[in-house]
Amino acid sequence: MADFNQILDAGDVDSGIINVVVEIPEGSTHKIEWDRKHGVMKLDRVEPQIFAKPTNYGFIPQTLDEDGDELDALIITRNPLPTGIYMEARVIGIMKFVDDGEVDDKVVVVPADDRDAGNEIKTLADLPAQLIKQIEFHFNNYKALKKPGSTKVDHWGDVEEAKAVIRECQARWKNQ
């Protein structure tokens, strides 16, 4: 498998169109992660069925969040996406998140060209309120059986806040 961080960069952050690599399809209980050292996708663990991912989940290449991993992305589509593909995505906001005391933010994106539904989605306000509640509930509780209270959604931010976090993570990547 190709090393995504060597082939792809984060994309055009200023325009809000970025590159995202899919790790976990929506509805999956498989915690699949990019293994930077070996250049492959790795099954880290299998989560309980009640904590299947509410959205597709991936990362933004050539970024590094405060937790030491690439910056995460929540990818909103009508159907699950397969592991290992990359896509151009439109930034619509950010979920500021803390996991075991570490910053572990999630940039929220839609496909840059989604003629089915996504071209109408420009901000988090364009998403159904119930979906936002489900995502927040998932991330506040997905470790509850193992370590209750170890995760917390701090707040939801707009496109500009998301771009600022991406830029910080790009700088951290370059300085690693």
- Tell me: is residue 69 an annotated ligand-binding position: no
Confirm whether residue 174 is marked as ligand binding. no
Task: Establish whether 86 is an annotated binding residue.
Answer: no
The answer to whether 57 is annotated as binding is: yes
Is there a binding annotation on residue 104? yes
14 belongs to an annotated ligand binding site: no
67 is in an annotated binding site: yes
Q: Which two tokens stand for residue 165?
A: 């976090």
| Measured distance CA(52)–CA(55) in Å, rounded | 9
**How many Cβ atoms are within 10 Å of 24's Cβ, its own excluded?**
23
In sequence order, the β-bridge partners of residue 49 are: none
Between the alpha carbon of residue 166 and those of residues 14, 74, 76, the distances in Å are: 10, 14, 18
Annotated binding residues for Mg(2+), as ranges? 67, 72, 104
Binding residues for substrate: 31, 45, 57, 142
Q: Give binding residues as ranges.
A: 31, 45, 57, 67, 72, 104, 142
